[in-house]
Amino acid sequence: MKTKRPIVALLLFLLAIGISFTVYGIQENEELQFSMLGFIGGSSTQTLDEVDNFRLEIELNNETELFFHQSKNEDSHAKIVRKTGDNVEKITAEEALKEIENIIKGLPHPTDSKPLALIEAILDQLKLEQEDIRDFELKVCLNSGEKIKMNFKLDRVIPA
């Protein structure tokens, strides 16, 4: 009977350690997921209020150009331009602001992720494939003073 008590105590001790590690792991996992969902400050409910300037330019292989711009200066404005050949579609004001805000909401925090993760998140938001991209340029200025600049250019040489 005396040998059972140390074994039971050891099992309870190991069980308590296992539970604490599990709870700690779940908390760490939730914090990680929470910070990866948000764009600025680790919140998943980000808005344009935290972005001073957002500029995204994408050129596709099919000669399509996409331009997203939002700025908070004296003449605060937002604009989106989609150009394919001679066809130009311009979206401004509130509609452009909403579309840009949706893009920003879907981005991971720039300091918590690798540059390619930001690019992939934007391409997912816009439903674009990596293979279709010729030029990708992103500039974001945050209220905190942080600036994120990325430029990705792909020149494809097709063998004859």
Q: Render pLDDT for 51-74 as a digit per residue (tens, 0 to 9).
A: 888 999 999 998 899 999 998 875
Contact 27, 100 (CB under 8 A): no
- Which has the higher per-residue pLDDT, 89 or 105? 89
Tokens for 122? Answer: 């934007």
Contact 56, 67 (CB under 8 A): yes
The ranges assigned to domains in the chain are 48-153
Nearest to 40 by CA among 101, 113, 108: 108
User: For residue 5, how many C-alpha atoms fall within 13 Å in the half-sphere facing its CB?
Assistant: 2
Q: For residue 82, is pLDDT > 60?
A: yes
- The pairing of beta strand 147-153 with beta strand 133-142: antiparallel
Nearest 5°: CA angle at 98, between 96 and 99?
Answer: 65
Q: For residue 104, is pLDDT > 50?
A: yes
- The pLDDT of residue 106 is 84
Instruction: For residues 119-132, give the mean pLDDT.
Output: 91
Tokens for 97? Answer: 């602001």
Q: pLDDT-based confidence at 81, cuts 50/70/90?
A: very high
Residues whose CB falls within 8 Å of the CB of residue 14, separated by 6 or more in sequence, listed in order = none
Q: For residue 79, is pLDDT > 90?
A: yes
Instruction: State the DSSP string of 1-61.
Output: -TTHHHHHHHHHHHHHHHHHHHHHHHHHHHHHHHHHH-SSTT-SS--GGGEEEEEEEEEET
Tokens for 101? Answer: 């805000």
Q: Among 30-39, 78-87, 119-128, which is the least confidently predicted range?
A: 30-39
- The pLDDT of residue 157 is 59
- Which has the higher per-residue pLDDT, 94 or 28? 94
Q: pLDDT-based confidence at 118, cuts 50/70/90?
A: confident
